[in-house]
Structure 1
Amino acid sequence: MSAGISALIFVFGRLKTLVDRNRDERVAAINGLSPAVGATIAYTTRCEQGYTRDLDEEKKLHGLWFDASAKVSPYDKELAMVCREKSQYWLEYDSYTQDKVIELGIELKKIAAQLEVLKHK
């Protein structure tokens, strides 16, 4: 096999590795974000319907968002920071105003939209 063909095979192999790694990181990000977003939508919907807050459930949401941050980090550092802040939000819910939530970019609808973008790339 000629050196040129060997070099091409090597380059294509490296490109495939990069594409596969990017895909795997995106899938891990989706798998990390989906439970956090889904559970948060379910919980906030119940609260909007008049159910009382559940501190145990909020503690679970903190854990889901913290886990999502770790899983999203290899794919998107900025989104991982948003997830980390969202986890903190669930620990200190009463200290966050709606303006602060918007300022930090941790609105649930915004994050859910980002998840949908990830799912359809």
Structure 2
Amino acid sequence: MSEIIGGLFGVVPNLLALPKERRELRDNALREILVALDETYLYYRDIERGKGRSDDREALLVRYWSAAAIPMRHIDRDLAQRCDQKAEYCLNPDTYDADAVKELGIGLESVRNAYRTLLNPRSLVHKPSAVRREPRL
């Protein structure tokens, strides 16, 4: 009996650690998507303000979206795929038309809504009052 109890005490710390590890994994995945979203929105803002396109910043966006896909695959495979596809879009934007972006769910509002749902699944997803069109890269 003491061996069984001793064995259980050895397992309990591992069981208690799982939720924290899972939470950290989830937080890291969400953080990566937030960085990709923020950097993409900032880039589009700069384009709208007349700064023009930047190959260097577009290359960074590819890296941000690719980096977001990796940890997200453990949390939400669909969103991970969308992040990967968003990286591909940033790499080759001219190969995607508006219909493809919508069909793939890689528009910024679509990805942001998925992010917000994961961030707080109990809240309603914010619907923008006006649909903002992403500039063509």
For normalisation by structure 1, the TM-score amounts to 0.82
What is the RMSD of the two structures over their aligned residues, measured on CA atoms?
A: 2.4
Unaligned runs of 5+ in 2: 122-137
Moved over 3 A (4+): 1-18
SS in 2 for 1:75: coil
1:101 corresponds to which residue?
Answer: 101
Q: Does the CA contact (< 8 Å) of 1:22 and 1:75 recur in 2?
A: no
Q: 1:117 to 1:12 in 2, by over 3 A?
A: farther
| Partner residue, 2:70 | 70
Note if contact 1:36-1:64 (Cα within 8 Å) is conserved in structure 2.
yes
Distance 1:63 1:95 in 2: 19
Residue 14 of structure 1, CA deviation: 6.1
TM-score by length of 2: 0.73
Q: Cα distance, 1:70 vs. partner?
A: 0.8
Q: Distance in 1 between matches of 2:98 and 2:119?
A: 27
The alignment partner of 2:19 has SS state of: helix
**In structure 2, distance between residues paired with 1:67 and 1:112:** 16
RCO higher in structure (CA 8 A, sep ≥6): 1
Amino acid at match of 2:37: V
Q: Which residue identity is paired with 2:81?
A: M
Report the number of matched residues. 121
Q: Please name the residue that 1:31 is paired with.
A: 31
Distance of 1:43 and 1:31 partners within structure 2:
18
How far, CA to CA, are the matches of 1:11 and 1:118 in structure 2?
30
Give the deviation of 1:97 after TM superposition.
0.7
Deviation per residue, 1:38-82 (Å, 9 max, x gap): 000111122233331111111110001001111212211111111
Identity of aligned residues (%): 31
Gaps of 5+ in 1: none
